[in-house]
């Protein structure tokens, strides 16, 4: 198919080359020979009268023209995919759809088991891919690299639809055999202890870290980890303190010996939301998945309220 003398099939090749900045990797992604991909690049260069990809040292870089069109090309393809791939008669009991979900390991270990349990009641063939939460994760939604994003409100985009899932409070956890056992978690005790914290691989600050720094509350960080779920194990056998999500604290309290303490100060609740691309707003599969997560979040909140 052509539009203004441009073979629209070339847009897919262009998208891969602009994203990967490599002809060879783009050819592998599309299962084409490198010569076929090089031929596609030659045709694109001729059409746009621009080299698009240029060699800079040992790597390829985008020209200013290529940089300017990169987002538009991806947007066009996402819109086409959303239009063509959307099944207006989505039936979870018959569907073999593969949902790609960006989420933190906290959400994966607390919310998603409930989501999977509900999904398994109606389908044995729907598949899920859990993808790591990176910096500016909503960009993966915009690029069509994921179907939905589950993240704190500040990490979602105002440009795309989203819904509230649940609110999360923070607590302290300590080893049940530590010197903190049976003692109130005062501000003096909190400030005087050694702490473990989660540090994202992107280098970004977590919600509680941003808030504590803003309020001038200092922690003596003796150990950092790249996952939330590892923090409860990392305080065992020590006097260290971890500041964690309450749902996770309750989950691990029943598995390992940890004490849960209220924070010695007030911290705002963390609001978790689910987001999808605006082009997928009429996708019944996305609607089904969103409703499923809402049900799971509601059951998680109910069990939270009934817990001590």
Q: Which domains does the chain have, with CATH numbers?
A: 2-85 (1.10.10.10), 98-167+270-306 (3.40.190.10), 170-262 (3.40.190.10)
The β-bridge partners of 99 are 128
Structural tokens at position 58: 């040992």
- The phi and psi torsions of 67 (rounded to 5 degrees) equal -60, -40
The β-bridge partners of 80 are none
pLDDT-derived band at 1 (thresholds 50, 70, 90) equals very low
231 Cα distance to chain centroid: 19
> Which comes out higher in pLDDT, residue 93 or 282?
93
Entry pTM: 0.74
The β-bridge partners of 127 are 98
Secondary structure (3-state) at 42:
helix
Structural tokens at position 55: 């060699």
> Which comes out higher in pLDDT, residue 136 or 249?
249
CA–CA distance, 275 with 138 (Å, rounded to integer): 8
Contact indicator for 295, 119 with CB cutoff of 8 Å:
no
| Angle in degrees, 0-180, between the axes of helices 284-306 and 246-253, rounded to the nearest 10 | 60
> Residue 127: how many CB atoms within 10 A of its CB?
12
pLDDT tens digits for 35-65?
A: 888 888 898 888 888 888 888 888 888 898 9
> Residue 244: how many CB atoms within 10 A of its CB?
26
With a cut of 90, say whether residue 306 has pLDDT above it.
Answer: no
Structural tokens at position 139: 């960009």
Nearest Cα residue to 248 out of 272, 281, 224: 272
pLDDT-derived band at 201 (thresholds 50, 70, 90) equals confident
Handedness of CA 219, 224, 229, 233 (dihedral sign): negative
Per DSSP, the residues of 180-226 read TTTS---HHHHHHSEEEEE--TT-PPPHHHHHHHHTT---EEEEEES
Give the burial class of 189: count Cβ atoms within 10 A of its Cβ; 0-12 exposed, 13-18 middle, 19 or more buried: middle
Beta strands 2-3 and 6-7: pairing type?
antiparallel
pLDDT-derived band at 2 (thresholds 50, 70, 90) equals very low
| Residue 118 DSSP code | H
Count of CA atoms in the C-beta half-sphere (13 A) of 207: 21
pLDDT-derived band at 4 (thresholds 50, 70, 90) equals low
Contact indicator for 175, 257 with CB cutoff of 8 Å:
yes
Mean pLDDT across 277-282: 84
- The phi and psi torsions of 263 (rounded to 5 degrees) equal -65, 150
Contact indicator for 273, 151 with CB cutoff of 8 Å:
yes
pLDDT tens digits for 208-228?
A: 999 999 999 999 999 999 999
């Amino acid at each position: 198919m052509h539009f203004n003398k441009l073979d629209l099939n070339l847009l897919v090749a262009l998208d891969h080359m602009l994203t990967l900045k490599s002809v060879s990797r783009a050819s592998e992604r599309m299962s084409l020979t490198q010569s076929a991909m090089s031929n596609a690049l030659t045709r694109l260069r001729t059409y746009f009268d621009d080299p698009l990809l240029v060699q800079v040292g040992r790597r390829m870089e985008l020209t200013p023209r290529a940089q300017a069109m990169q987002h538009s090309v991806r947007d066009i393809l996402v819109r086409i995919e959303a239009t063509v791939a959307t099944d207006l008669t989505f039936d979870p009991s018959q569907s073999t759809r593969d949902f790609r979900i960006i989420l933190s390991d906290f959400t994966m270990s607390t919310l998603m088991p409930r989501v999977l349990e509900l999904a398994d009641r109606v389908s044995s063939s729907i598949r899920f891919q859990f993808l790591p939460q990176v910096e500016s994760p909503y960009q993966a939604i915009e690029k069509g690299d994921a179907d939905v994003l589950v993240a704190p409100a500040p990490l979602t985009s105002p440009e795309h639809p989203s819904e509230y899932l649940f609110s999360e409070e923070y607590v302290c956890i300590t080893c049940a055999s530590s010197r903190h056992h049976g003692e109130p978690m005062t501000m003096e005790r909190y400030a005087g202890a050694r702490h473990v914290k989660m540090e994202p691989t992107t280098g970004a600050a977590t919600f509680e870290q941003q808030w504590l720094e803003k309020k001038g509350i200092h922690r003596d960080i003796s150990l950092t980890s790249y996952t939330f779920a590892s923090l409860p194990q990392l305080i065992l056998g020590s006097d260290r303190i971890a500041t964690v999500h309450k749902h996770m604290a309750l989950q691990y309290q029943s598995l390992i010996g940890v004490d849960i303490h209220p924070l010695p100060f007030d911290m705002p609740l963390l609001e978790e939301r689910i987001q999808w691309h605006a082009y997928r707003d009429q996708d019944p599969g996305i609607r089904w998945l969103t409703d499923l997560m809402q049900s799971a979040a509601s059951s998680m909140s109910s069990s939270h309220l009934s817990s001590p």
